[in-house]
Structures are given as structure tokens and as C-alpha cells.
Amino acid sequence: MSVATRVIPCLDVDAGRVVKGVNFLNLRDAGDPVELAKLYGEQGADELTFLDVTASSGNRETTYDIVGRTAEQVFIPLTVGGGVRTVDDVDRLLRAGADKVGVNTAAIARPELIAEVADRFGSQVLVLSADVRRRVDDAGHRSGGFEVTTHGGRQGTGLDAVEWCARAAELGAGEILLNSMDADGTKDGFDVELIELVRREVRIPLIASGGAGRVEHFAPAVRAGADAVLAASVFHFGELTIGDVKDALRQDGIPVR
């Protein structure tokens, strides 16, 4: 029996509104997060992911409020990330109504955070969010391999993405949200090579993110090793529904819920 592939809309939230851009730039308003979350729940989304894209301390209270209001209306698992720095941040988000919490920059700065969160709440709560881009040389040409980035893809870390994902899994991450910065918002398809490379090294579930534009883009990501597929703008602007994606996956012989 194959495990059903999950279809997950992602809500990038900035100051209480959903926004979407290309390669994390030129953000435009895509609506009210609670209303969109409710719509996706009705459409049959398996989970929801909220990312606080600016994650400043000023926005943090807004995020807790949105999470709480969403959890009251929508009864599917909710993952929240963005600016999570401590075990206490995780605790507060779970109390607000999140089921899982995504960590990125803080885990790179202090990898022990992954183990601390997993020890206190269980691995199933912790999603490692990895914003990954292809390595380029000074002339801008691809130089091979993938690098983990922080600050919405604006800062390189020098960390090899595949090695970092494997290390996070060993430390106790329950799942990896693998986001291709090169593909983000382009609608040219997921980075299948990246998914395959990470899949070879980790056994925990992988969520493929970045690049979805058409229904036929989702099956290749699953065949490359993704357990779940995530998209944002194609859902927010009504280009695709959750049902469209699930129908296409079913027709491709991929089990969905």
C-alpha cells in the first residue's frame, strides 16, 4: 500500500496578508490568510503551511493571531514557520494552534535547536525548512551542487544543501520542506534533480516546494522522491485548485487522499 501524496497550499504572510512574488521578490497581495485557509480546507487540502516572510518581532503577534483564527476554522494540520528561534517560540505557536513548526535560519545558526525541539515536542512537530539554490561562480555560471540560504534566499551560508538536510534528519527533524529558490514563483516546474539528491540521503518525508505552474508539474516531483507537493501562487490566484492537482496525480497513478 503506497502512502498517499499530500497536496499543501503555502501561505506566505506579511503583516497579516498573504503575499506572493517571484524568487522571493516583487511581492503582491494575494488575500486574507484565514479566508484562503478556509477555502483550501474546503477544496480538500491535506495540510496548510504558513510562512511569516518578514518575521520581525512586530509581526509576531499578528502571526499568533492568524494561527489562532485559522485553527478555529480549518481542521487539517497547520505548519507555521518564519522567525522561529527558540524552543519557547515553538511552544507558543503550538499553543496558538499550529500542529507543526518550521525552522530555518535559527537551525543553521545553532543546529542543536533541532534536537532540543524534537526532544521536547517529538520529531513529528519539527519541519526543517531548507531554502536552496544552485551554486554559481563569480560570473554567475552554475558551478555544481546546491547551497542552503537564509533570509528569504538573500544570504548564502556555504552549507551543502544535501549534507545539511541529512544532518537535520539525524538531529531529529521529522520532515523537510525543500524549497528551490531558483524555481520559486517561476511556474517552470519543481527542481527534480534537487529532490532526487536529497531523497537519496534522507529517509524522513520530503515536501517539494518552488516552481509549480501546471498540473503536470506535480507528478515528476513525487516520482523524484517527494512525499508531499506544495504550491502557492497557482492556488492563490485561482489558476489551479487542490482538486485539479489531485486529479492529475491520480491520473498519473499516484495515490492521493
Radius of gyration from C-alpha coordinates of the chain: 17
Neighbours of 201 (CB within 10 A): 12
Instruction: Give SS3 for 178.
Output: strand
Nearest alpha carbon to residue 254 among 226, 214, 213, 232: 226
Q: Is 12 marked active-site?
A: yes
Cα(179)–Cα(176) distance, rounded to whole angstroms? 9
Q: Strand 48-52 to strand 6-14: parallel, antiparallel, or no bridges (unpaired)?
A: parallel
Q: Which residues pair with 5 in a beta bridge?
A: 256
Q: Sign (positive/negative) of CA torsion 200, 10, 46, 168?
A: positive
Name the active-site residue from 131, 184, 191, 227: 131
Characterize 34-43 residue by residue with b for buried, 16 or more Cβ atoms within 10 angstroms of its Cβ, and e for exposed.
bebbebbbeb
Name the active-site residue from 12, 14, 182, 184: 12
Indicate the DSSP class of residue 16: T
Q: Is 131 marked active-site?
A: yes
Find the DSSP H helices in the chain. 33-43, 57-73, 87-96, 105-109, 112-121, 161-171, 192-201, 218-223, 233-236, 242-251
The residues annotated as belonging to the active site are: 12, 131
